[in-house]
Amino acid sequence: MSTPPTSDVDLFADDVVLDPYPAHAELRECGPVVHLPRNDVYALTRYDVVRDALADWESFSSASIAFNPMANEALTGTSLASDPPAHTQLRAALTENLSPRALRGLKAGIDTKADALVAELVEKGSFEAIDALARAFPLAVVADLIGFTGHVRANMLRWGQAAMQVLGPMNQRTAENFPIAGELYTWCSQVKAEDLAEGSVGRGIFEAEARGAIPPDTAGHIIHQYLGAGVDSTIAAIGNIVALFAEHPDQLALVRADPTLVPAAFNEVLRYWAPINTWGRLATKDVEVGGTVIPAGAQVAVLLGAGNRDPRHYDDPDTFLVERNPVDHLGFGYGPHGCAGQGLARLEAHAVIEALSRRVERLVAGPEVRVPGNTTRSIEALPVLEVIPA
């Protein structure tokens, strides 16, 4: 058994987080596992090994999903950072309000909200797509869902971004965001049922706690995870939808001609530009992968975005094709921790794609602005200069 090849790629360097695809291609060619001394991690680079590792919690523990010890410490006891059997119970409490049945009642309201917002933007003729749509829409949906009011509503964006930034290595981005993530943590540890709007899902979580359906003192943690895991990633995905449709008018035309392509189009957006490219695991023992050994105790970097562009798995992976329908993409992860909020994310994204494809023939966008981020790869600003209405 040999040791994995080594590369001097830095997964968290500004140029790599802004455009990870050249580094991903290089690492995939190097091998299915590559040791990266600059990050002190073993990176999993190809589709099959990424998926296998996410399924194998006995070898790859969630005790280290972040790339610095402080964040891992803060996450202890959450569903995200637990392994079965503890994870199984934590996740059940977390997903009760995110199951297809629980979400069914939300679809009509979410569709109406997306359509009204898109109609208003089309009417304006030009707009800044990230603030006006990618941020505005999921923030409104999640705020109404959980029942946030007042200052919390105003802080959701900062808190959601910070919760993702602090998962990186101890670089400047992580250090700057710890105090902001701490505000979220403090608020969630103090929030009470009365702070959340009556009839909201957030209230329902407290009611479940009161009647003993979920363990005591878990309601605040669940709300923390909805906000921490669900806000920044969905904003990134919706911004990506607008940018990719502007860049590929032929692909928007396909969805316009055949609205049944909406779910396939969202799968392709998540495959082509995964909102989260790098996620952590801890090797619990010496683990053999592809004829090499990852040593016990090593930090592992699971490259979701690199798996999504692996030519061993997808034909022509660097091309954005809405008809491809990659239902097995890795954008939501896979296995026991596979995204617990993907039903909600899909409701939101499908509503936006449907509204755009119904109301817009073409979008003309200026250059997208990006700023480097440790975990979520998202667009900071995207000027839509002209809308050609349907």
Interacting residues with ligand HEM (CB under 6 A): 54, 62, 65, 79-80, 91, 94, 225-226, 229-230, 233-234, 237, 275-276, 279, 304, 331-333, 337, 339-341, 344-345
Of 281, 274, 297, 264, nearest to 373 by C-alpha is 274
Nearer to ligand HEM, 234 or 357 (CB): 234
Which residue in the block uniquely carries the two structure tokens 């189009």?
265
**How far apart are CB 262 and ligand HEM at their closest, in Å?**
15
Nearer to ligand HEM, 91 or 113 (CB): 91
CA distance 218 to 212: 11
CA distance 339 to 319: 25
Nearer to ligand HEM, 219 or 304 (CB): 304
Q: In the structure encoding, which two tokens stand for residue 279, read together?
A: 């996620």
Q: List, edge to edge, every strand of the sheet that includes 127-128.
A: 127-128, 383-389, 360-365
**How far apart are CB 96 and ligand HEM at their closest, in Å?**
12
**How far apart are CB 275 and ligand HEM at their closest, in Å?**
4
Nearer to ligand HEM, 185 or 387 (CB): 185
CA distance 42 to 342: 27
Q: Beta strand pairing status for 127-128 and 383-389?
A: antiparallel
CA distance 288 to 280: 18
Given a contact cutoff of 8 angstroms between Cβ atoms, the answer to whether 128 and 363 are in contact is no
**How far apart are CB 59 and ligand HEM at their closest, in Å?**
14
Of 38, 23, 43, nearest to 283 by C-alpha is 43
Nearer to ligand HEM, 231 or 387 (CB): 231
Nearer to ligand HEM, 87 or 122 (CB): 87
**How far apart are CB 287 and ligand HEM at their closest, in Å?**
17
Which residue in the block uniquely carries the two structure tokens 């979920």?
214
Given a contact cutoff of 8 angstroms between Cβ atoms, the answer to whether 251 and 321 are in contact is yes
**How far apart are CB 226 and ligand HEM at their closest, in Å?**
4
Of 351, 353, 357, nearest to 256 by C-alpha is 357
**Residue with the CB atom nearest ligand HEM in the bound state:** 341
Nearer to ligand HEM, 326 or 333 (CB): 333
Which run of H or of E encompasses 345?
A: helix 342-359
**How far apart are CB 165 and ligand HEM at their closest, in Å?**
15
CA distances from 49 to 55, 72, 276, 359 (A): 10, 23, 17, 41
Q: Beta strand pairing status for 60-61 and 127-128?
A: unpaired
Nearer to ligand HEM, 122 or 229 (CB): 229
**How far apart are CB 294 and ligand HEM at their closest, in Å?**
17
